[in-house]
Chain A
Amino acid sequence: MTEKQFVITDEAGIHARPASALVGSLSKFKSDITMEFKGKKVNLKSILGVMSLGVSSGSTVTIAADGEDEEQAITTITEVMKNEGLSNQ
């Protein structure tokens, strides 16, 4: 399993547009990918799951990928986070 933490810097937190980009970029991965925020863990391939966390600006989320392509998945997530202005880590 590969894990990585991100501090969300977008003023509006994880809102619909970047959340769509994030979820949309993951459909091609076979790994199970989750995002954890304030003790709640959701499927990162689920737009409803991601949105339901209501992640606000300045908070830290932990993303974990588990499967054959877990490392590529984390790399993609890091890129999307950067491109969408969500986080620069």
Chain B
Amino acid sequence: MKRTLSGIAASNGIALARAFRLETPDLTVEKKTIDNADQEVQRFESALSKASAELETIKERTAAQISDKEAAIFGAHLLVLSDPELVGPITEKIKSDKVNAEFALKETADMFIAMFEAMESDYMKERAADIRDVTKRVTAHLLGVTIQNPSLIAEEVIILAEDLTPSDTVQLNPEFVKGFITDIGGRTSHSAILARTLEIPAVVGAKKVMETIENGTFIIVDGLEGVVIIDPDSALIEEYQEKKASYDRQKAEWAKLKNEATVTADGHPVELGANIGTPKDATGAVDNGAEAIGLYRTEFLYMGRDAFPTEEEQVDAYSAVLKAMDGKPTVVRTLDIGGDKELTYLDLPKELNPFLGLRAIRLCLEMPDMFRTQLRSLLRSSVHGNLKIMFPMIATLEEFRTAKALVIEEKEKLAAEGIAVSDSIEIGIMVEIPSTAVMADVFAKEVDFFSIGTNDLIQYTMAADRMNENVSYLYQPYNPAILRMVKMVIDAAHKEGKWAGMCGEMAGDEIAIPILLGLGLDEFSMSASSILKAREQISKLSKADMATHTERILALATADEVESYVKDIM
């Protein structure tokens, strides 16, 4: 067996624990003829009651650990288990056709699945997945195999999986889940981002984890270096315990910088913000020393539910973030949905190239009523703090003008209704499409600020799908092409007296930070857990010094040359 595996370091920290493989067992069902139908019906009923008991436990745990809302889905699953229209025909089938329970269950469930899948609305189509989920659970009990449930884990483990979906990840309890390793995914995949939010060490894209590591094997995950060590000897364990302790000490050191301002060695202040997804994250951001929210992704408010959030729900969420930030700058990105991020209640046509399709601002301008509700909610919340509105995926000046006009119209409507709105709301854009970076000098005359979204800017500039591992080598933040574009945007902003920030993963990267400082970036927004480390790094760097290097760095030929140049001067 290979002793180590390497992957992409996705979330800092070190963990030592036993491996817990999260996988779907083989649930293939064969048709069999049975002799004793009554006995078979009994077997079916016993599987049903075991599955129900299991779902009850999961439902209770989810309610206690996550929320009643998340638990409700398991309540619906329980109802499916006791549904007379499902249980009745299965029992009938076992008796009349003399078939095994697994097969009768499959035939009957498949009929319902097909019926739901044939329905017009995407929301109803999704319900087929619920039936499939419940059927799997009962089938597993009939076959005597176990379906794992991450929310039931009650000892310290490191999770191994092919990939983790957002719904898998919400079920992970950070008290017991000490780290995770996936075979696929990259630094910007959802599971990686979530690991950083939960502050759990993670290695992703490790390729052969599921093939190599058995359940219960003692392993080490090093989220700093992107290394996984299988069945380490006592010397290695000791070494890593020491490394973990030193990382924890370092973290404690950084914690002391929590209430300090971010100032370079030569006295230039910069702003360090956090990227957040829910109002709850705002507290974590402040705890990690954020001086601002550089990116509040509002799409999470729209996801995982079955209807649009109402104006009141939105006002509550936005106000909560603004209040938590207590007057500090709060950049709220308007809905960035469509493409790969779907809403079940929004029936959007499937697209061949979702990343190049009807998404973000394009979709919002296509659905002005939905967009106006969000803008109105933002404007109503603005009195609670320092709100800045940011439009995602702007490709042309017309898009920006149309979106801004809607803000102004909604503001006038509110004024006419006598509802208070702040007068100092800045309106800016995300720069993530090359056309906008190139035209930044023209945009800068009309927008109040730029925030460079590097994850998408890199993907669109390099023409490389960031979800596709086969072209992951093209995800090159240090490529001089990207750096030159970043410089164009920052220079354009400063020429018009505006500010430029960055809210992609690159803003928290220790190689990128010195370059960005030299280029004059005003605001760096990153995962909350990266802020204190960045603050320490910046306090040791001189902006003037870094500026003397930028011309040479931008003249380099490759990303690798840039990386070694920066390492040399540090």
**Which residue of the partner chain, among A15, A17, A27, A48, contacts B85 with CB atoms under 8 Å?**
A48
Contacts of A12 in B (CB 8 A): 123, 306-307, 345
Determine the distance from Cα of A12 to Cα of B76 in the docked complex, in whole angstroms.
17
Please indicate the chain A residues that have their CB under 8 angstroms from the CB of B82 in the complex: 27
Chain B residues positioned under 8 Å from A42 (CB to CB): 85
Residue numbers in B under 8 Å from A16 (CB-CB) = 73, 76, 127, 130, 306
Asked if B124 and A54 make an inter-chain contact with CB atoms under 8 angstroms apart, the answer reads yes
Asked if residues A17 and B72 are in contact (CB atoms below 8 Å), the reply is yes
Given that A12-B306, A16-B306, A43-B84 are known contacts, is A54 also in contact with B76, CB under 8 Å in the complex? no
B557 at the interface (CB under 8 A from A): no
Chain A residues near B112 (CB, 8 Å)? Answer: 48, 52
Inside 8 A of A23's CB, which chain B residues have their CB?
A: 79
Q: How far is the CA of A16 from the CA of B78 in the complex (A)?
A: 12
Query: What residues of B have a CB within 8 angstroms of the CB of A48 in the complex?
Result: 80, 83, 85-86, 112, 131
Q: How far is the CB of B327 from chain A (nearest CB, A)?
A: 36
**8 Å CB contacts to B: which residues of A6-61?**
10-12, 15-17, 19-20, 23-24, 27, 42-43, 45-49, 51-52, 54
Contact yes or no, B85 A49, CB < 8 A: yes
Binary CB contact string for chain B from 278 to 322 against chain A (1 if under 8 A, 0 otherwise): 000000000000000000000000000011100000000000000
Produce 1/0 per residue, B224-257, CB < 8 A to A. Answer: 0000000000000000000000000000000000
Known contacts A15-B123, A54-B124, A47 near B80 by CB under 8 Å: yes
Instruction: Kindly identify, within residues 66 to 112 of chain B, every residue whose CB is under 8 Å from any CB belonging to chain A.
Output: 72-73, 75-76, 79-80, 82-86, 112
Q: Check if B83 sits within 8 Å of A20, measured CB to CB.
A: no
Scoring B residues 337 to 356 as 1 if CB is less than 8 Å from chain A, else 0, what string do you get? Answer: 00000000100000000000
CB of A54 within 8 A of CB of B120, answer yes
Query: How many angstroms between the C-alpha atoms of A11 and B305 in the bound complex?
Result: 13
Q: What separation, in Å, do the CA atoms of A11 and B121 have in the docked complex?
A: 14
CB distance from B76 to the nearest CB of A (A): 5
User: CB within 8 A of B79: which of A10, A24, A52?
Assistant: A24
| Nearest CB of chain A from residue B400's CB, rounded to whole Å | 30
Closest to B87 in A: A46
Set of chain B residues within 8 Å of A11, measured between Cβ atoms: 307-308
Closest to B120 in A: A54
Query: Which bucket holds chain A's interface residue count?
Result: 20 to 34
How distant is the Cα of A10 from the Cα of B83 in the complex, in angstroms? 24
B306 touches A51 (CB 8 A): no
Question: How close is A18's CB to chain B, nearest CB, in angstroms?
Answer: 10
A30–B307 alpha-carbon span in the complex (Å)? 33
B residues 121-146 near A (Cβ < 8 Å) are: 121, 123-124, 127, 130-131
| Minimal beta-carbon separation of B105 from chain A (angstroms) | 13
Contact A46 B83 (CB under 8 A): yes
Closest CB-CB distance, A40 to chain B, in whole Å?
Answer: 12
Which residues of A sit under 8 angstroms from B306, Cβ to Cβ? 12, 15-17
User: Does B116 reach chain A (CB closer than 8 Å)?
Assistant: yes
Which of A43, A46, A47, A49 is B76 in contact with, Cβ under 8 Å? A47
Query: Considering only CB atoms, which chain B residue lies closest to A15 in the complex?
Result: B306
In the complex, the chain A residue whose C-beta lies closest to that of B85 is A46
**B-side contacts of A47, CB under 8 Å:** 76, 79-80, 83
In the complex, which residue of chain A has the Cβ closest to the Cβ of B112? Answer: A48
- C-alpha gap A12/B86 in the complex (Å): 25
Inter-chain contact B307/A24, CB cutoff 8 Å:
no
* B307 surroundings in chain A (CB, below 8 A): 10-12, 15
CB nearest neighbor in B for A10: B307
| Bound CA span A54–B125, Å | 10
CA distance A52 to B120 in the complex (A): 11
CB-defined contacts of B85 to chain A, threshold 8 Å: 42-43, 46, 48-49
Bound complex: CA of A68 vs CA of B566, how far in Å? 82
Within 8 Å CB of A17, what residues of B? 72, 76, 306
C-alpha gap A11/B306 in the complex (Å): 10
Say how far B149's CB is from chain A's closest CB, in angstroms. 20
Residue of B86, B116, B127, B308 ringed by the most chain A CB atoms within 10 A: B127
CB neighbours (8 Å) of A49 from chain B are: 83, 85
Residues of A with C-beta under 8 A to B79: 20, 23-24, 47
Chain B positions within 8 Å of A15 at CB level: 123, 306-307, 345
B116, A20: Cβ atoms closer than 8 Å = no
Interchain CA distance A51-B112 in the complex, whole Å? 10
Note all chain A residues with C-beta closer than 8 A to B83.
46-49
Q: Write out the residue numbers on chain A whose beta carbons fall within 8 Å of the beta carbon of B345.
A: 12, 15
Closest chain-B Cβ to A38's Cβ sits at a distance in Å of 13
B 523-561 to A, binary, CB cutoff 8 A, 1 in contact else 0: 000000000000000000000000000000000000000
A17, A43, A45 interface centre (most CB from chain B within 10 Å): A17
Cα distance A15–B130 when bound, in Å? 13
CA distance A19 to B79 in the complex (A): 10
| Residue pair A52, B116 in contact (C-beta under 8 Å) | yes
Q: Tell me if B442 is interfacial: C-beta within 8 Å of chain A.
A: no
The answer to whether A46 touches B115, judged by C-beta atoms less than 8 angstroms apart, is no
User: Which residues of the other chain, A, contact B72 by a CB distance below 8 angstroms?
Assistant: 17, 20
Partner of B116, one of A19, A27, A51: A51
A-binding residues in B (CB < 8 A): 72-73, 75-76, 79-80, 82-86, 112, 115-116, 119-121, 123-124, 127, 130-131, 306-308, 345
Give 4 closest A-B pairs by Cβ, nearest first: A46-B85, A12-B307, A47-B79, A15-B306
Sample of 6 A–B contacts (CB below 8 Å): A23-B79, A46-B84, A46-B86, A47-B76, A49-B85, A54-B119
19 more A-B contacts (CB under 8 A) besides A12-B345, A46-B86, A47-B76? A10-B307, A15-B345, A16-B76, A16-B130, A16-B306, A17-B72, A17-B306, A20-B79, A23-B79, A27-B82, A42-B85, A47-B83, A48-B80, A48-B83, A48-B85, A48-B86, A49-B83, A52-B112, A52-B115
